[in-house]
Amino acid sequence: MSIEVGSKLQGKVTGITNFGAFVELPDGSTGLVHISEVADSYVKDINDHLKVGDQVEVKVMNVEKDGKIGLSIKKAIDKPEAPQRPRSQSSSHSQRPRQNRSNDRNVPRVETFESKMAKFLKDSEDRLTSLKRHTESKRGGRGAKRG
C-alpha cells in the first residue's frame, strides 16, 4: 500500500513529543502529526489531546524524498461546511446602487486616522499651553520673593 498525499488513513500513536505525535500507518511506516495539526483550537500540551496507543484518523499532507511523512488530524475530520450566506443575497447586496448610500445624511462619517491624530495634537497643544501659562505665573511670583 503506497502512501499518497491527500489520502486518509487510520493510524496508531506510537510516540509523543513536545512538537507533535508520531503515528504508525497501516503499511508500517511512521509519520509525524505536528502539534499545530492536532486540533482546530490552540494546543498548548499535546498530552491533553493524544496518548500513546490511541487510534486516530490522519490525512497525509506531504511525503518528503527522504521518507518523512507529514500528517494532520484536524484536516482528516470531515467538517460540515461553515454556514455561508446564500449567494443570491450576497451578490444582490453588492449590486445595490451606491447613490442610495452616499445620499444618506444620517450615517455618521468615519474619522480617518489622520483627522483623529490632528485633533489629538491640537488638544494636546492647547493643554500644554494652558499648563505652561499656569506654572510659569506661579514660578515667577515665588522666584521674585526669594531674590
Tell me the pLDDT tens digit for each residue of 11-65.
999 999 999 999 999 999 999 999 999 998 898 999 999 999 999 999 999 999 9
C-alpha to C-alpha distance for 124 and 75, rounded to whole angstroms: 53
For the chain, what are the domain ranges?
Answer: 8-72, 112-147
- This prediction has a pTM of 0.53
Hey, what CATH class is 8-72 in? mainly beta
Contact 62, 69 (CB under 8 A): yes
Q: Which three cell numbers stand for residue 6?
A: 491527500
Beta strands in the chain (DSSP E): 8-17, 20-24, 30-34, 55-63, 69-72
- Reported as a single tens digit per residue, the pLDDT across 74-83 is 998 876 665 6
- Asked whether the predicted pLDDT for residue 142 surpasses 80, the reply is no
Contact 30, 24 (CB under 8 A): yes
- Reported as a single tens digit per residue, the pLDDT across 92-123 is 455 555 555 555 566 566 778 888 888 999 99
